[in-house]
Chain A
Amino acid sequence: MYNKGTIIPGLIIFVLFVTFPIWFNGFTTAGDLPKPELPPGGEKHCVESAEYMRANHMQLLNEWRDNVLRDADREILEIDGKKYPKGLQMACMKCHSKKEKFCDSCHTYAAVEPYCWDCHLTPDQAVSKEATH
């Protein structure tokens, strides 16, 4: 083989470069599954099961949005004796009060950027300029 000294190191560098995503995730924490923080208040039940919410929370939020805004159906849901007014700020964030530790953990992992927070306030933001009423 001609130029053995160049080709073999070159091949090794090439293979390492191509498999970069695999070994990088193996050696660092970038590939670890996200662990969203459960509600600080210790609530155990949501409006639906955890599996359903994990898979379908976005559809549920869209449904609620259309109910409230389009159809003026602001009926307050009562599940296991707890009342949930339909709304991200009024229901979800009351328990999941840390957006950075709950929402963001999966959204960052999945590289999705929902635009909820362009308008909706996180509990921390709301407290930063709290109204008196």
Chain B
Amino acid sequence: MDKQRRKFLKIAGASVVAGIGAPAIIKLSSSPAFASGHAAPAADHSPAADVHGGHADAHGAHAEEAPTGVRLGMVIDMRKMADNPGLLDNAISACIDAHNLPQFPDSKNAIKWIWKTPFENVFTDHSAYHASKKTAHIDFPALCNHCDDPPCCRACPTQATFKVVSTGIVAMDFHRCIGCRFCMAACPYGARSFNWQDPRPYIKKYNKNFPTRMKGVVEKCNFCGERLALGQEPACVEACKGTGAITFGNLNDAKSEVRAVLDKEFTIQRKPTLGTKPSVFYIV
């Protein structure tokens, strides 16, 4: 009896060890970190590695991006904006007219697609200490950055906000928005606004080809997807036409106008360290 129990316990113990141990060994030997070679992911610049290795570009601004597909973006030249003080106001009112944006008397309710704000609010991770007089005194335009890796889209529980594959625009489907405001919490740029009340009484002029919004939905800049479809430029870009203050185009097209500006000038992005890869660039 004693011997049988001893034998049983030995076999049981061995099977437990084998059962727990074997899958662990299989997992370890198949994971890249323990496999032979130990390839450093950062050293591999092939586009395939960028697609599969989600962490390879964790350093955001420093990583090279796979130049595939269309990624619309813009460069805002603040030198030109500073030279033409009324330019930004024109761009903002063009946006308001194009998208039926309400003008609420209380700024707490404000619906903002493109708006004016000082340097230190736009570039919170840049020092504004002893900034040039011009930088300190002019208003900077802020808008949705149409990030290449948008955190708002990941936060949205209904996929009401999503990246349009063919353009790279971070779009909204107001029909689906349930007003949970997760996207507003997720956006590091404050580019989203919530309709706390019916916006219609506060809309000055209606654009009859664009809807309004209702109480309880979130909205933001859509890079004028509806105008691009008609072959027009975004409203703000059109308002600055001829001044070169805003250049709009495909960031992935090496021959595009935006790329020419980006290649020539030193530009900065908002909060690049977060790794959202904004598509809006500024020349300060």
Mark A residues whose CB is within 8 Å of B: 65, 69-70, 72, 74, 87, 89-90, 115, 118-121, 123, 125-133
- Whether a CB of chain A sits under 8 angstroms from the CB of B171 is yes
Given A69-B171, A72-B166, is A121 in contact with B211 using a C-beta cutoff of 8 Å? yes
Contacts of A127 in B (CB 8 A): 208
Digit string of B140-174 for contact with A (CB within 8 Å is 1, else 0)?
00000000000000000000001011110101011
| List of A residues within 8 angstroms of B57 by Cβ | none
User: Do B173 and A90 touch across chains, with their CB atoms under 8 A apart?
Assistant: no
Q: Is B175 a contact partner of A69 (Cβ separation < 8 A)?
A: yes
Q: Which residues of chain A are within 8 angstroms of B115 by Cβ–Cβ distance?
A: none
Count of chain B residues near A, Cβ 8 A:
27
Identify the B interface with A (CB < 8 A).
Answer: 97, 100, 162, 164-167, 169, 171, 173-175, 203-214, 225-226, 229
* A131–B208 touching, CB < 8 Å: yes
Closest to A132 in B: B205
Chain B hits for A90, CB < 8 A: 209
Residue of B nearest to A126 (CB): B208
Residues of A within 8 A of B171 (CB): 69, 72
Selected from B164, B173, B207, B211, the residue in CB contact (under 8 A) with A133 is B207
How many Å lie between the Cα of A80 and that of B277 in the bound state? Answer: 46
Is B213 a contact of A72 with CB atoms below 8 Å? no
Contact of B229 with A74 in the complex, beta carbons under 8 Å? yes
User: Among the listed B165, B210, B214, which residue makes an inter-chain contact with A118, where contact means beta carbons less than 8 Å apart?
Assistant: B214
Please tell me if the beta carbons of B209 and A128 are within 8 angstroms of each other in the complex: no
Given A69-B173, A69-B175, A72-B167, does the pair A131, B214 have CB atoms closer than 8 Å? no
CB of B228, distance to nearest CB on chain A (Å) = 9
Which residues on the B side are within 8 Å of A128 (C-beta)?
206
Q: Report the nearest B residue to A70, measured CB to CB.
A: B173
Most buried by B among A119, A126, A128, A129: A119
Query: Complex Cα distance A90/B171, Å?
Result: 20
Asked if B206 and A129 make an inter-chain contact with CB atoms under 8 angstroms apart, the answer reads yes
Most chain A beta-carbon neighbours within 10 Å: one of B166, B174, B229: B229
Most chain B beta-carbon contacts within 10 A, residue among A65, A69, A74, A123: A69
Indicate whether A89 sits within 8 Å of B209 (C-beta atoms), given known contacts A69-B175, A72-B166, A129-B203.
yes
